[in-house]
Amino acid sequence: DSGVTQTPKHLITATGQRVTLRCSPRSGDLSVYWYQQSLDQGLQFLIQYYNGEERAKGNILERFSAQQFPDLHSELNLSSLELGDSALYFCASSPHGSRSGANVLTFGAGSRLTVL
């Protein structure tokens, strides 16, 4: 157990639907990162939050949004789902929100989303 908890582990839904993925960071970590891993694209950085505020944004679609709550857990909302959104979604946490990249990342086990 890495200390980063992601729910649900598996999710099957239909095109056009909306889902919410949840991440609880490791105790004491202030930053949360979301990544998408699909078969053809590999891992892609979506977004980072630090202590409740958006810190960095990657290749996140407009149909996707995220937030980090006062208790530091984070949610990734995916709407108007398309077949191509089927992927593994990973959350990672780190102690800091440093822009230096000097952050040790701890990954959750991932949420596997299947869009039919």
11 forms part of the interface with another protein (CB under 8 A): no
- Residue 52, token pair as written in the block: 């409740």
28 forms part of the interface with another protein (CB under 8 A): no
User: Do the beta carbons of residue 32 and residue 72 sit within 8 Å?
Assistant: yes
Q: How far is the CB of 16 from another protein (least distance, A)?
A: 27
In the bound state with another protein, the residue whose beta carbon lies nearer, of 81 and 91, is 91
- Residue 103, token pair as written in the block: 């952050």
Segment interacting with another protein (CB under 8 A) among 15-23, 24-32, 53-61, 70-78:
53-61
In the bound state with another protein, the residue whose beta carbon lies nearer, of 12 and 43, is 43
DSSP structure string for 31-100? EEEEEEEETTTEEEEEEEEETTEEEEE-S--TTEEEEE-TTS-EEEEE-S--GGG-EEEEEEEES---TT
Footprint of another protein (CB under 8 A): 2, 33, 35, 42-45, 48, 55-56, 58, 88, 90, 92, 99-107, 109-110, 112
